[in-house]
Amino acid sequence: MNDVSKAGQMQYVSSEAPPIDLGRNFPPPSPVVQRALTETFAHFAGRNIADAIRFPRFMGTASDRDVGAMWLSQRLGKKPSAERVLLTNGSQSALAMLMARFVKPGGILLTEELTYPAIKPLSSLFGIELRAVSMDLWGLDPASLEDACVELGGNARALYCMPTLHNPTSATMSVARRADIASVARRHNLWLFEDDIYGILPEEALPPLSLYAPERSWYILGLSKCLAAQLRVAYVVGPNSDLSERLFWPGVRTTNWMVAPLAAEVASNWLASGIGSEILRSVRAETLKRRALAASILPRMQLSPREFNYHLWIDLPDKWQLDAFVKAVLDAGVIVGSGESFAVNNQQGDRNFRIGLGVPSDEEELVRGLTAIASVIDADSGSRVNS
């Protein structure tokens, strides 16, 4: 999902080159995308594409949904019924509809204590109270979720979480933890909104949380983090076809959750033709290269070069305060993500920052950015704690 950190929102005015953007979290550039677009539009030229974009594409065509179901089978273990699959205008639009329909104004949405930044303004927009649930190194803590549900009673309506390659921490829940969270959700009648946008990046990943409680789960898999950042298409799998259609159809006149027809055409073409899988393989390969570079330039950070995600969650050196560090890095010509921008409450995130490896157009630019960060981390002149 697209998120802009506090650092990313800073205005940078300089006659010099713009700062290197390691704050946003987009997939690294794939050499396959240019060819894919050329071939796709050549394919469109041979058919009446005007009819395909003449009308809205509510929920996707039957073909869109069938192709999406096949793509989803990579994560769900088998192809879901196409009638359960909806195409939406990206994961954020899907979440907006789920929050509006299931949590509603005055309700409480539970989420990890560090989470996708857009959840906070979305909750505020709908009059929803957002409550943080504690995490550990392996993600959302089931015992803390149980405690929150008991404390809040029936006011907690749903849980939004990212079980695989969590943003920003990269935590991945174990199978046992997924089963425990599903049990808590059943016990307290919680809806589950699973954001699996990074879950397709590893060649092998654990089964989605939604498989452990399918009757109450809404599984979301977007394309913007695995294929192309501005391909605003996300597939949503509901508990059943009737509930899926009844949930989303009322928003047709009041929201923009519907997928753009041309984006749907591109997505369906890529997935059906195999180009999507080719792009995904190239993104995986480039991600591993970039993680290896980061591990070599930031050796003290103990980064694993074998993880397939392209964001790094890094502990702030003891001598620094977060705001001072982010500013020092910006002064060195690099944007990083402030940990506080991911925190539900003010008590988390102030000792971490996030690096996104995907935005730089080439490895040379990435190396310059990482080297600048390493220089700031290693700087020992003066006291930084009280800067």
Domains of the chain in start order, with CATH, are: 7-33+277-377 (3.90.1150.10), 50-273 (3.40.640.10)
The DSSP secondary structure of 52-114, one letter per residue, reads HTTS--TT--HHHHHHHHHHHHHHHSSPPPGGGEEEESSHHHHHHHHIIIII-TT-EEEEESB
Residue 386: pLDDT band by 50, 70, 90 thresholds? very low
Q: What's the mean pLDDT in 155-176? A: 97
Of the ranges 166-180, 232-246, 253-267, which is most confident?
A: 166-180
**Is pLDDT at 4 greater than 80 in this prediction?**
no
Query: In whole angstroms, what is the distance from residue 134 CA to residue 141 CA?
Result: 6
Residue 241: pLDDT band by 50, 70, 90 thresholds? confident
Residue 349: pLDDT band by 50, 70, 90 thresholds? confident
Return the pLDDT at 303.
73
Q: Give the other-Cβ count within 10 Å of 383's Cβ.
A: 9
**Is pLDDT at 245 greater than 80 in this prediction?**
no
Query: In whole angstroms, what is the distance from residue 218 CA to residue 192 CA?
Result: 6
- pTM for the full model? 0.91
Beta bridge partners of 222: 234
Return the pLDDT at 383.
39
**Is pLDDT at 371 greater than 50 in this prediction?**
yes
The DSSP secondary structure of 316-367, one letter per residue, reads PPTT--HHHHHHHHHHTTEEEEEGGGGBSSTTSSTTEEEEE-SSSSSHHHHH
**Is pLDDT at 166 greater than 80 in this prediction?**
yes
Residues 121-138 have pLDDT tens digits of 999 999 999 999 999 999
Residue positions counted in the chain = 387
**Is pLDDT at 3 greater than 80 in this prediction?**
no
Better-predicted residue by pLDDT, 74 or 17: 74
**Is pLDDT at 250 greater than 80 in this prediction?**
no
234-67-251-342 Cα dihedral, nearest 10 degrees:
-10
Return the pLDDT at 346.
73
Beta-carbon contacts of residue 77 (< 8 Å; ≥ 6 apart): 207, 211
Better-predicted residue by pLDDT, 102 or 301: 102
Q: What's the mean pLDDT in 168-194? A: 98
Residue 300: pLDDT band by 50, 70, 90 thresholds? confident
Q: Tell me the torsion sign for CA atoms 23, 26, 27, 28.
A: negative
Return the pLDDT at 242.
85
Query: In whole angstroms, what is the distance from residue 139 CA to residue 133 CA?
Result: 10
Query: In whole angstroms, what is the distance from residue 86 CA to residue 68 CA?
Result: 8
Return the pLDDT at 92.
93
Q: Give the other-Cβ count within 10 Å of 386's Cβ.
A: 6
